[in-house]
Amino acid sequence: MEDQIKELHEKAVEEIEACDDLETLGTIRNAYLSKKSPLMALMSRMKELSGEARAAFGKHINDAKNEIAERLEAKRKALEERKIEKQLEEETIDISLPGKEMKKGAKNPFYKIQDEIIDIFASMGYEIVEGPEVESDHYNFELMNIPHDHPARDMQDSFYIDENTLMRTHTSPVQARVMEQKKGQPIRIICPGKTYRRDDDDATHSHQFAQIEGLVVDKDINLGHLKATLELFLKKMYGEKREIRLRSSYFPFTEPSVEVDISCYECGGKGCSVCKGSGWIEILGGGMVHPNVLKMSGYDPDVYQGFAFGIGIERVAMLRYGIDDIRRFYQDDVRFLHQFKKD
């Protein structure tokens, strides 16, 4: 039987040395070390031997098994290392090759314009203040001197949540909240944010749009300050050659109220399709804060005056970039956004 052990041992060593892959090595392991292997069959015959012969035979067969197991483990490690080396060689990256160009996104022109407007007024010393989009009737209408019979209060024109709560129709409530908090202190703020009205969505209207409203309250404020402020702002937005004009208008929260036009940036005031032949483009509204608004917010209108204005961000962006449909700002069309990549 010892000759059989020697023969099996030598055969196993020979097969292990010749093995070239892990799958075959597993087959060899099963052939020589499993319970059904020839070595295990020989061990079952130990009972045929006497005491000393049995011990010697047991040691001989165990030594053979242990050496086969050690050789199998050494071969396994060698084959795994070779496999990793081959994989690394095949997957080697040539770092001298040019990399793939990463596609860069483009900022929505709406946010470009919003950030630019905010930066302009911040450079003029204005504080940026935000407020809730779900607002009370008190702040949205009452403190803005908007009477109960005003069309904006109709259910078909505003998104009411309940009788006294609605989605704000302008960012003016933020101004009212700030005036209520300051009570007699000077104010210079702009209030950017989303607003909501029951409009049918089309090329020039949206149920959701954005405004930046401005408010200045202090002693000895007059309409000239409003004109100078807006002239500075519009020249920075549309160029130093732009002129502005104020036209009389009406808003419940300002008195007097004005519509503000700029000279057409396309034709220089000569008349074209952009300005519809007038030479002027309507850009925003404003006016002197109504005495009732000041009074309701804790300011004495005989001591304090103020001016306010409202800028439609989408309108400014549409005029700046020649965009003909307000819906494009909200459709996330990469073809549209890509046009503003380098702006």
**pLDDT: is 126 or 281 the higher one?**
126
**pLDDT for 150-193, tens place per residue?**
776 775 688 999 989 999 999 999 999 999 999 889 999 999 99
Contacts of 246 (CB under 8 A, 6+ apart): 223, 227, 258, 259, 260, 261
What are the helix (H) ranges across 159-214? 172-182
Is the pLDDT at 67 greater than 80, yes or no? Answer: yes
Q: Are 126 and 60 part of one and the same domain?
A: no
**pLDDT: is 5 or 240 the higher one?**
240
Does residue 146 sit within a domain?
yes
CB 245 within 8 A of CB 214: no
Residue 84: give the domain boundaries.
Answer: 2-90
Which domain-ending residue is among 56, 90, 124?
A: 90
Does residue 117 sit within a domain?
yes
Q: Are 174 and 77 part of one and the same domain?
A: no
**pLDDT for 32-55, tens place per residue?**
788 777 777 777 776 677 777 777
Q: What's the whole-number mean pLDDT along residues 137-146? A: 92
Confidence (pTM): 0.68
- For residues 231 and 264, give the distance between their C-alpha atoms in angstroms, rounded to a whole number: 14
Question: For the chain, what is the domain count?
Answer: 2
- For residues 1 and 339, give the distance between their C-alpha atoms in angstroms, rounded to a whole number: 87
The residue among 265, 257, 225, 246 whose CA lies nearest residue 124 is 225
